[in-house]
Amino acid sequence: MPGFSRLALDVEQLKMKHLDILAHIFLILGLGVGVVAVYRLRFDSTDQFLVILVITFFYLLWGTTYHHIKGEIEKKLFVEYLLIAMIVVICAFLVFVI
């Protein structure tokens, strides 16, 4: 039943598209909360650094979960997320802690 398979494929693709949109909205919302928190704490550098740490951890968790659901999680991708997270954390450490 090629028509049914095609329909099932379309439904699956639609689900993935919805997942993409929802997941990215969730990510943007989380980062938005982080931006507000960092701005409001702009005269307390230690707390700002803690917020950035939490947001970076959220980013890593989001990436791992999102790509796992999509079935495309692999070592290279995870390392990419990790390297960018570490760049963010080191920058934050240099600016807000040292």
Partner 1 sequence: MIHKKVIHHFIPHQKEDGLHHRAKALNLSYLASYLLILVLFGAGLYLIKLKAPQILGQVMFSADQIIALTNAKRAQSGLGVLSSNGQLAQAASAKAQDMYAADYWAHNSPSGKTPWNFITTAGYRYLYAGENLARDFSDASSVVDAWMASPSHRSNMLDTNFKEIGVAVASGDLEGREVILVVQMFGTPVSQIPTQQPLVQASPVPSPQPSPAQVAQVKEKPPSAPSPSPKVSPSPTPVSVAVELPSLETAQNTQSTVLASRQFSLVKGVSFGLVGFVFLLFALEIIYTLRKNHLRLRSGVLAHLAILAFILLAIWYAVAGAVL
Which residues sit at the interface with partner 1, rule CB under 8 A? 24, 27-28, 31, 34-35, 38-39, 42-46, 48, 52, 55-56, 59, 62-63, 66-67, 70, 72, 76-77, 79-81, 83-88, 90-96, 98
User: Cα torsion for 47, 48, 53, 54, to the nearest 10°?
Assistant: 80
Give the residue with the Cβ less far from partner 1, 5 or 75. 75
Q: Which residue has the tokens 């494929």?
A: 9
Shortest Cβ distance from residue 11 to partner 1 (Å)? Answer: 21
For residue 74, report the phi and psi dihedrals to the nearest 5 degrees. -150, 165
The minimum distance between CB 1 and partner 1, in angstroms, equals 30
Closest CB to partner 1 among 7 and 87?
A: 87
Residue 8: how many CA atoms within 13 Å on its side-chain side?
Answer: 5
Q: State the nearest-atom distance from the C-beta of 42 to partner 1, in Å.
A: 5
> Which one, 7 or 95, has the nearer CB to partner 1?
95
- How far apart (Å, rounded) are the C-alpha atoms in residues 76 and 79? 5
Tokens for 1? 């039943």
